[in-house]
Amino acid sequence: MLSVYLPVFLLLAVAALVAILMFTLTSVLGPKKPTPEKLLPYESGSNTTGASHLRLSVKFYLTAILFVVFDIEAVFLYPWGSMFRELGWFGFVEMLGFLTILAVTLVYAWKKGALEWET
Amino acid sequence: MGTWELTFAAILKILFVLLVVVGAFAPVLVWAERRQSAMIQDRLGPRRANIPLPRGLVDLMAWSLRPLQMGLVAGFALAGACIALLAVMGLFGLESVAGQSAESLYWGVLAFAGLGVLSALGYKVHRGIVDNGGNLRLLGMLHPAADAMKMIWKEDFIPPRADRFLFALAPILTVVPAIASFAVIPFAADLHWDHLTDLVHHGIAWEAVDGAPTLSGEAWERWVATAAAQGVAVTGPSIPMQIASLNIGILFIFAVGGTGVIGAAIGGYGSDNKYSLLGGLRAASQMVSYEVVLGLTVVPCFMIYDSLRLEEIAAWQFEHGWWGIGIPPLTLAAVLFSFAAVAETKRIPFDVPEGESELVGGYLTEYSGMKFGMFFTGEFVEVVLLAALATVLFFGGWDVPFLYEYGFDLPGSWELSVPLTHWTIGDVFLIEHWAVIAIQVVFFLLKVIVIVWLQLMIRWTLPRFRYDQIMALCWKGLLPLSLLNILATGILVLLWN
């Protein structure tokens, strides 16, 4: 079983090697000439004011929560999808119930304004 | 087959994928994109990288122009003469003409036409170099290489108040998952190692030369029956043309590829810059939203193909002789998938995370040198990955129209009046096993190129969307549509059964 995953680990190792090679080359070969102006956060020429960690819109957090809900739904649909013919109408109706609950979730989030970005 | 041989085969396949994707696709994609934008804006674009060649070589090339011209004319003239002789044979029903048999004339056409084409190519290349002042330019294909060199020697800037660990980790986390996701992409059917030069059909292999009769007009079915009696069952190791054949299949791509979000997010977070932070957040928010849609649009594929394994999905389309895009629910799925794929790779028209009119460079603002280049490598590799995934799911993977395990077999039963070689029987053109696999690999790559090119066309055609439009399209448009598509597919599949 584990031997099936051996090539995957090999590929991961090779990919990591490529990434680390690129990374190391540029940090070793690239020059480093810091000047006070260069070290400032780049904001198109104007001086930065305040901390760089802003207060963020709550929309981003809502999107993250919705992502968790719906991505788990998607992953739950995968084994069901690949077993679909064997489960037949019974499985279809069962999944219909599950999807209905999630559709209600989406409608609720929609009505509550969680999907609005204009304001 | 022992563990060592399997490991060796895996290493070869990994090198092949790396060479094709990172070594060829990503740089050529960079070049094509810049060249296309230059053509639109009437600029010179990426074609100025020259390699000066030694004086003597250039003189030799200048001298060779005339012989190459002569070779061009002579090659095509002789090929034409061979064709004329063949026509005379066909018209008068002669066995041979001027002491030449049909077979040798066929080879003559091939050889002389080949000479002509090669001379033409050589002339074009030499002419280009001589006209360019003795510099090798190759259409500007050297530009991506020059760019990579330049990026490596650029200043490696780290903002003083940045989170050094996250800042360094972000580009690595963008490149590694994008490359690693290729582990489960199948690029050809299984290779039967012991039957490379045999003909293979339905688990039976027979020696190519002995099995193929030289007669034309013999019924194909009768021939297959005879050959099957002469052939032996396929034995020995069969090597999957895929780095790893995992039972979770496509789930692996979403699991590993999904970590790419973290790269963009922590890159923006660790840069100590307001633009970076906003860009990183936009990237994270947009990518997770479209990941849901991407995940849901492919569920109808599993319901129809009955498997999560990508090699089985490709094989299903090969056996049914019908690509996924031609099955109604999957046509819609393919359209939704293409939207989500462009958005997932954060490219125009969905490139607000790095929209320079609003956020300077987005989460890339503080990155320089090859670290900046790594984000781009990751992006382009991801474009190729999603194109390959779309190819497997909707465009038949490595399936080539009319190519079967034993060779090309055109529909119908018309027969060629003259046997081209002893490889043809009626309308069937027999091909050895290794060549069939090679054709499949090439065709798979061609399909990927076409899809990637479509993405480029989208990039230079559409203007950038607003952020609220992007999120509304995802949550209010694509997500409900993909859920409805799953239900519709379910009903259709169950009614068909």
Of B102-111, B257-266, B318-327, give the lowest mean pLDDT range.
B102-111
Burial annotation B356-371 (CB, 10 A radius, 16+ → b, else e): eeebbbbbbbbbbbbb
In the predicted structure, residue B416 carries a pLDDT above the cut 50: no
In the predicted structure, residue A108 carries a pLDDT above the cut 50: yes
* pLDDT tens per residue across span B196-207: 777 777 777 766
In the predicted structure, residue B125 carries a pLDDT above the cut 80: yes
**If you count them, how many residues does chain B have?**
497
Of B17-26, B31-40, B230-239, give the lowest mean pLDDT range.
B230-239
Q: Which of A14, A53, A54, A119 to mutate to test the interface with B (most CBs of B within 10 A)?
A: A14
In the predicted structure, residue B404 carries a pLDDT above the cut 60: yes
| Apex B351 CA angle, B346 and B354, nearest 5 | 105
| Apex B404 CA angle, B400 and B407, nearest 5 | 100
**Among B194, B195, B199, B193, residue whose Cα is nearest residue B211:** B199
- With beta carbons under 8 A apart, name residues in chain B contacting A18: 18, 22, 175, 179
Contact A52, B277 (CB under 8 A): yes
Write the CB contacts of B42 (distance below 8 Å, at least 6 apart in sequence): none
Write the CB contacts of B68 (distance below 8 Å, at least 6 apart in sequence): B119, B122, B123, B126
- Going by pLDDT thresholds of 50, 70 and 90, the confidence category of residue B89 is confident
The answer to whether B179 contacts A60, with C-beta atoms less than 8 Å apart, is no
Q: How is residue B360 annotated by DSSP? A: T
Write the CB contacts of B242 (distance below 8 Å, at least 6 apart in sequence): B13, B183, B184, B185, B186, B187, B310, B311
User: What's the pLDDT at B426?
Assistant: 55
In the predicted structure, residue B226 carries a pLDDT above the cut 70: no
> Residue A103's domain is classified under what CATH number?
1.20.58
**Alpha-carbon distance B462 to B459, whole Å?**
6
Amino acid at the residue B7: T
Is residue A116 one of the residues assigned to a domain? no
**Alpha-carbon distance B275 to B431, whole Å?**
58
Write the CB contacts of B383 (distance below 8 Å, at least 6 apart in sequence): B29, B345, B347, B452, B455
Q: What is the mean pLDDT of residues A96-112?
A: 88
- Going by pLDDT thresholds of 50, 70 and 90, the confidence category of residue B221 is low
In the predicted structure, residue B271 carries a pLDDT above the cut 70: yes
Residue corresponding to tokens 């990591």:
A16
| Alpha carbon B185 to its chain's center | 11
Report how far apart, in Å, the C-alpha atoms of B458 and of each of A57, B339, B348, B452, B454 are. 31, 11, 8, 10, 6
Contact B484, B297 (CB under 8 A): no
Report how far apart, in Å, the C-alpha atoms of B30 and of each of A72, B142, B182, B377, B467 are. 35, 11, 20, 9, 26
**Among B204, B229, B202, B224, residue whose Cα is nearest residue B213:** B224
Q: Which of A1, A4, A5, A11 to mutate to test the interface with B (most CBs of B within 10 A)?
A: A11
Please name the residue ranges forming H helices in B270-410.
274-297, 299-305, 310-320, 328-344, 356-359, 369-394
* pLDDT tens per residue across span A41-70: 887 777 777 777 778 888 888 888 888 888
User: What's the pLDDT at B427?
Assistant: 61
The answer to whether A30 contacts B155, with C-beta atoms less than 8 Å apart, is yes
Is residue A87 one of the residues assigned to a domain? yes
Number of continuous H segments (helices) and E segments (strands) in chain B: 19, 13
User: What's the pLDDT at B411?
Assistant: 65
What tokens does B409 get? 């077999």
Of B89-98, B273-282, B365-374, B444-453, give the lowest mean pLDDT range.
B89-98
Report the residue of chain A nearest B180, measured CA to CA.
A12
The answer to whether B176 contacts A74, with C-beta atoms less than 8 Å apart, is no
Report the residue of chain B nearest A95, measured CA to CA.
B487
Amino acid at the residue B214: T
The answer to whether A71 contacts B291, with C-beta atoms less than 8 Å apart, is yes
- Higher per-residue pLDDT: B313 or B205: B313
> Facing residues of B205 across strands?
B200, B232
The answer to whether B476 contacts A115, with C-beta atoms less than 8 Å apart, is yes
Mean per-residue pLDDT of chain A: 84
The answer to whether A56 contacts B281, with C-beta atoms less than 8 Å apart, is yes
Of B87-91, B227-231, B332-336, B360-364, give the lowest mean pLDDT range.
B227-231
- Going by pLDDT thresholds of 50, 70 and 90, the confidence category of residue B425 is low
- With beta carbons under 8 A apart, name residues in chain B contacting A104: none
Among A17-26, B99-108, B124-133, B134-143, the range with the most confident prediction by mean pLDDT is A17-26
A18, A75, A117 member nearest B179 (Cβ): A18
**Among B299, B265, B282, B260, residue whose Cα is nearest residue B479:** B299
- With beta carbons under 8 A apart, name residues in chain B contacting A64: 284-285, 288
Q: How is residue B24 annotated by DSSP? A: I
**Among B434, B407, B438, residue whose Cα is nearest residue B421:** B407
Say how many domains are in chain A: 1
**Alpha-carbon distance B497 to B481, whole Å?**
24
Is residue A20 one of the residues assigned to a domain? yes
In the predicted structure, residue B417 carries a pLDDT above the cut 50: no
**Which B residues 227-246 touch A at CB under 8 Å?**
243-246
Torsion angle defined by CA atoms of residues A48, A49, A51 and A57, in that order, rounded to the nearest 10 degrees: -100
Q: How large a percentage of chain A has pLDDT more than 90?
A: 2
**Which B residues 329-358 touch A at CB under 8 Å?**
none
Beta strands in B26-161 (DSSP E): 51-52, 96-97, 100-101, 135-136
Q: With 0.90 as the threshold, say if the pTM is over it.
A: no
What tokens does B445 get? 């790559």
Is residue A118 one of the residues assigned to a domain? no
Q: Domains of chain B: which residue ranges?
A: 51-136, 155-190+240-399+432-496
B202 membership: H or E segment, kind and range: none
Size of interface A-B (CB pairs under 8 A): 219
User: What's the pLDDT at B418?
Assistant: 39
**If you count them, how many residues does chain A have?**
119
Give the DSSP per-residue string, B456-494. Answer: HHHHTTSPPPPHHHHHHIIIIIIHHHHHHHHHHHHHHHH
Query: What is the arrangement of strands in the sheet containing B232-233, beginning at the earlier edge strand?
Result: B198-201, B204-207, B232-233
Angle, helices A2-29/B164-180, rounded to nearest 10 degrees: 130
Range of the domain at A54: 2-111
| Terminal C-alpha separation, chain B | 39
> Facing residues of B192 across strands?
B238
> Facing residues of B206 across strands?
B199
* pLDDT tens per residue across span B449-494: 899 888 888 888 888 888 888 888 888 889 999 999 999 998 888 8
User: What's the pLDDT at B209?
Assistant: 47
What tokens does B132 get? 């360019």
Torsion angle defined by CA atoms of residues B293, B294, B300 and B304, in that order, rounded to the nearest 10 degrees: 180
